[in-house]
Amino acid sequence: MVITIQGERQIKCQLSDFSLYVDSAREGSGDVSIKTATELPIKNAPGSIIQGPGEYEMAGVKIRGISLPKESTAKFLRTAYIAHMDEINLCFLGELKSKPDDSVLDKLGEVDILFVGAGANATEAKKIEEIIKTIEPKLIVSLGNPKYLADELGLKPEKSDKLTIKKKDLSEATLKIIWLT
C-alpha cells in the first residue's frame, strides 16, 4: 500500500487499482472518498463518496464510520473512519477539537496506522497524545508539521513525500511518526 498527501490534508491510500481518498472530492473508477466532516443537511452524493457513520465495503475494502457527536454541530456531521486495506487497519479522525469519548475510542478497535492533525501548539499536541496513548497505534501519520506532537511523545518525526507499507513492516516497528509532505 502506498500512502500520499494530495493537496492540503487530502490523503490518498492506494492498493493496486483501488484508491481511497480522505477529505477529497476526487471521484473515478476504482476510487472511494470518505468525508470526516460532512455539511448538513447531507446532499446526495455518488456511491463512491462515503459520508457519515455506517459499515461499507467497496472493492474488498471494509470501511466503518463512527459518529463523533462531541465534534458534530448543526452545520457539520463529524465522523471517524476505520478502513481495512491490505490487512492493515487505518484510522482517520479528521480535525478534532477534543478527545473523543471512551465509547467512541472503543469502537475504533485495533488501529495499525493513525492519521492525525499535527497539533498547532503544545495544548493541541497534548490532546492528540492522549488519543494516541488510548488507541495505541503502531504508526502515526501526521498531516502537518508534528514538532509539538513529537516533543510530547519523545519521538523524532520522519519526513517523507509518501509512505509505502506492508503489514509485516508494522509488526516489526516501534511507534514512530511519519510526516507526509
Mean pLDDT in each 10-residue stretch from start to end of the chain (181 residues)?
76 88 69 89 82 90 94 93 94 86 90 86 86 92 89 91 89 83 82
pLDDT at 88: 94
Of the chain, the end-to-end C-alpha distance in Å amounts to 17
Determine, yes or no, domain membership for 143. yes
CB 35 within 8 A of CB 27: no
Whole-model pTM: value is 0.91
pLDDT at 173: 66
Type of residue numbered 57: E
Residue 62 domain boundaries: 52-180
pLDDT at 3: 86
Determine, yes or no, domain membership for 169. yes
Determine, yes or no, domain membership for 82. yes
Determine, yes or no, domain membership for 129. yes
- How many domains are contained in the chain? 1
Determine, yes or no, domain membership for 145. yes
Determine, yes or no, domain membership for 92. yes
Determine, yes or no, domain membership for 36. no
pLDDT at 8: 62
Report the CATH number that the domain containing residue 90 is assigned in CATH: 3.60.15.10
- Which pairs from 14-23 meet CB under 8 Å and 24+ separation? 15/61, 15/85, 15/86, 18/59, 18/60, 18/61, 18/85, 20/61, 20/63, 20/83, 20/85, 22/81, 22/92, 22/115, 23/94
Determine, yes or no, domain membership for 20. no
